[in-house]
Amino acid sequence: MARRKTRGWHGRLLAAALGVTALAAATSMWTATANPAGGQPSQAGVSVPDGKDRKVTKVAADIAHASEAGDQGVNITIDDGPDPNWTPQVLQLLKDNEAKATFCLVGPQAEAYPDLVKEIVADGHRLCNHTVSHDTAMDGKSEEYQSKQILDAERMIMKASGGVRSQYYRAPGGAFTPYSRQLAASHGMRPLGWNVDSRDFERPGADTMVATVKNEIANGPTVLFHDAGGERSQTVAALGEVLPWLKQEGYTFGFPVR
């Protein structure tokens, strides 16, 4: 899926207050929709599909770019899946290179392929909420719409994963708003940005993607790839070169800060 790159991160973070009433309404919506299996709300007013109480840890609402692995850490992030063709190939490459990644899942994709979501979790990767519709213009939509996109997707992802929460929220195309960041953070999902865009959604060729990562990794640790939203053979080929190169250069695969 194509992404908008016309506005920088700082340009998106327009000053706007998050109303207490709006956030309370969003939390109420979450409590009403997030528990199809009939579990009880946790201390944070959030339920999980397997019915077990689990407390949500609030996280920072600013957009994360840094790595928990420190200065030599690299965060591989994989967007728009899971996909039955490409995700297994990406998972195998990660396993072959002893690398961990953060998978930013689209709600209906997770719902359609729960076994892949469970495999992602079983392999030690982290989950990220990438909304229901991947609407790159959602920063111009109402707070009610943004809330439904984020919270409905999280319900789908948790059900598919067997109750594992997303630890991050990535707005499609970087279409964050102060409201969506605060809402996600209040439900334990750190807003997640990126430093290096492989631009694989444009299919420029694997060699070009590899060169982009090598040239731009000094800009920061979080690298963006996709495993769905189109034909991804170039992405698979690029990852097959990028992952061992990063290891050779002394980088450590980690996760974004929370």
Residue 157 — very low, low, confident or very high, per pLDDT cuts 50/70/90? very high
Residue 38 — very low, low, confident or very high, per pLDDT cuts 50/70/90? very low
Strands 196-197 and 190-191, sheet pairing: unpaired
- CB contact at 8 A, 117 and 104: no
The mean pLDDT value for 5-25 works out to 37
195 to 48, 101, 143, 243: CA distances (angstroms): 32, 15, 27, 17
Asked if pLDDT for residue 18 goes beyond 70, the answer is: no
Location of structure tokens 């992404």:
3
- CB contact at 8 A, 129 and 150: yes
The mean pLDDT value for 126-135 works out to 98
- More confident call, 205 vs 46: 205
Asked if pLDDT for residue 3 goes beyond 50, the answer is: no
pTM of the model: 0.81
Give the largest CA-CA distance in the chain.
Answer: 51
What 3 state SS string does the chain have?
A: CCCCCCCCHHHHCCCCCCCHHHHHHHHHHHHHHCCCCCCCCCCCCCCCCCCCCCCCCCCCCCCECCECCCCCEEEEEEECCCCCCHHHHHHHHHHHCCCCEEEEECHHHHHHCHHHHHHHHHCCCEEEECCCCCCCCHHHCCHHHHHHHHHHHHHHHHHHHCCCCCCEECCHHHCCCHHHHHHHHHCCCEEECCCEECCHHHCCCHHHHHHHHHHHHHHCCEEEEECCCCCCHHHHHHHHHHHHHHHHCCCEECCECC
Residue 14 — very low, low, confident or very high, per pLDDT cuts 50/70/90? very low
Q: Tell me: the pLDDT tens digits for 217-244?
A: 999 999 999 999 999 999 999 999 999 9
Among candidate residues 134, 197, 226, 227, the one labeled active-site is 226
Domains of the chain (ranges; CATH) run 73-253 (3.20.20.370)
Among candidate residues 79, 83, 135, 139, the one labeled active-site is 79
Lowest mean pLDDT: which of 45-49, 111-115, 140-144, 187-191? Answer: 45-49
Active site residue 80: no
Residue 54 — very low, low, confident or very high, per pLDDT cuts 50/70/90? low
Residue 35 — very low, low, confident or very high, per pLDDT cuts 50/70/90? very low
Active site residue 227: no
The pLDDT, as a whole number, for residue 78 is 98
Asked if pLDDT for residue 190 goes beyond 50, the answer is: yes
Asked if pLDDT for residue 115 goes beyond 90, the answer is: yes
The pLDDT, as a whole number, for residue 55 is 66
Asked if pLDDT for residue 46 goes beyond 60, the answer is: no
The mean pLDDT value for 75-100 works out to 98
